[in-house]
Amino acid sequence: MIISALAFAMLNIGVKYLGKFNVYQIVFFRALGSLFFTYPFLIKKKIPIVGNRVKLLLLRSVIGLIAMILFFSSLKLLSTGSAVSIRYIAPIFAAVFALFILKERIKPIQWLFFLTAFVGVLMLKGFDFSSFGLGYVFALLSAIFTGLVFVLIRLIGNKDHPMVVVNYFMTLAFLVSGVLCIKYWITPEGWEWLMLLSLGVSGYFGQIYMTKAMQQSETRLVAPLKYIEVGFTMIAGVIWFHEGYTLLSVLGVILIVISLVLNVLVVKRS
């Protein structure tokens, strides 16, 4: 999950850099880049592309695509800090879904850790309440759907290879966004081609390692590690965009890390 968080942070930076492109075109290139990895791997390893749990694979793909489009759309309407902060409520929704769907037990103290981790995210990225509208709705819905994705991957379990799960998601995203982006297509120039294709590479590694994490560990343990992506995104922002961060932001990172460590300790002792 930590490797996944790093990869998704790179994806966030790429999306920010390519802000002039429509959300469907960004999703299209992200999916295209990932498919360069998934199909050759499945063919080489002779892994059935169709998979075993077809209905769950399709449902996970649909829910994941909706979550991705909603999040990228929220980035168009909100400041990056607001959109990212809201999206990180996802592990909390994942824990709730897991409680009812997977019957996973959650200790009361873990809810406190989830809350403090999210407070840390708010301290790090901040909220802009100057306007509250559709962008906030998109970000919140994205968080809900992302939480459900975590649980669906857990339901699929080891019945299907992680690459099959990712390939389903990227194939659906490629087909749907490919049709939707035709109307809004902007021809990339120079380095923009490479940047757009790199979204698929970072998205691929983020997706495959997140899938492995969710298949091999309980949702309540690995889902909160998604918060680490915020720290990675902050570091990348400093390096590439020369962003500055306040003392409050640094304290937010510390609070996130402490909350994650305590949550892991509680789960291991249960």
Q: What is the pLDDT of residue 178?
A: 96
Taking the alpha carbons of 186, 66, 37, 90 in that order, is the dihedral positive or negative? positive
Q: What is the pLDDT of residue 75?
A: 75
Q: What's the average model confidence in pLDDT over 35-64?
A: 95
Predicted confidence (pLDDT) at residue 129 exceeds the cutoff of 70: no
247 residue type, one letter: L
| Nearest alpha-carbon partner for 161 in 1, 55, 48, 44 | 48
Write the DSSP symbol of residue 28. Answer: H
pLDDT band at 22 (very low <50, low <70, confident <90, very high): very high
> Helices (DSSP H) in the chain: which residue ranges?
2-17, 23-44, 54-77, 80-87, 90-97, 108-125, 134-156, 162-180, 191-216, 219-222, 228-241, 247-269
pLDDT tens, residue by residue, 51-99: 999 999 999 999 999 999 999 888 777 766 667 777 877 877 888 898 8
CA pair distance 265, 104, nearest whole angstrom: 17
pLDDT band at 243 (very low <50, low <70, confident <90, very high): low
Give domain limits for the chain. Answer: 2-269
pLDDT > 90: what percent of the chain? 35
Predicted confidence (pLDDT) at residue 179 exceeds the cutoff of 80: yes
129 residue type, one letter: F
CA pair distance 185, 243, nearest whole angstrom: 30
Query: 159 or 263, which is more confident?
Result: 159
Contacts of 57 by beta carbon, 8 Å cutoff, 6+ apart:
51, 156, 160, 164, 165, 168
| Nearest alpha-carbon partner for 83 in 33, 16, 31 | 16
Predicted confidence (pLDDT) at residue 127 exceeds the cutoff of 60: no
Write the DSSP symbol of residue 129. Answer: T
Q: What is the rounded average pLDDT for all residues in the chain?
A: 84
